[in-house]
Amino acid sequence: MQNNQGTRFDLADLNPGTWFEMGGGGRVCLRVCAGDDLRAIRKATVKKRAGFRNGTRIVYDDVDEDRQNEAIWDSCIVSWEKIFDKDGKPIPCTQEMKNLLMGKSIMFSSFIAASLKSLSAITEILVEELEKNG
């Protein structure tokens, strides 16, 4: 008989997301942006540049912050349900709609920020528990 104690990982979905309920019945599935995702976003949105300051050559990061934020939002917002436009039509969970809502809706972006903060705290607690029990 195999001992089933230990930590298990779903290798097909290592960062699945967690659902958060919005007021009014909608809900959003969020995940913390994992290390590999952040590295890929950084690689796509940061370019090394060289210049001179006071006669000294310097190298600095030139960051496309808008593109970086949009990529992070796309990675962190996995899905949503029961999110509608003013006519009651479902808003599709596309990168374009994520960017629109995050960039223009204070209600939506505040909800996402608070939920991600909560998710980060939950993740930290789980990691601490795993380290204590490991």
Task: Determine the average pLDDT of the residues in 63-82.
Answer: 93
| Structure tokens, 82 | 């029961």
| Cα dihedral 41→43→69→74 (10° resolution) | -20
For the cut 60, the answer to whether the pLDDT of residue 2 exceeds it is no
Quote the CA–CA distance of 83 and 127 in Å, as a whole number: 32
Tokens 């204070």 identify what position? 106
Q: How many helices (H) and strands (E) does the chain have?
A: 4, 5
Summarised one tens digit per residue, pLDDT across range 51-71 is 888 889 988 888 889 999 999
Summarised one tens digit per residue, pLDDT across range 14-26 is 778 999 999 889 9
Q: pTM, whole model, 2 decimals?
A: 0.75
For the cut 70, the answer to whether the pLDDT of residue 1 exceeds it is no
Quote the CA–CA distance of 109 and 115 in Å, as a whole number: 10
- Nearest alpha carbon to residue 69 among 30, 95, 47, 91: 95
Report how far Cα 58 is from the mean position of its chain's Cα atoms: 32
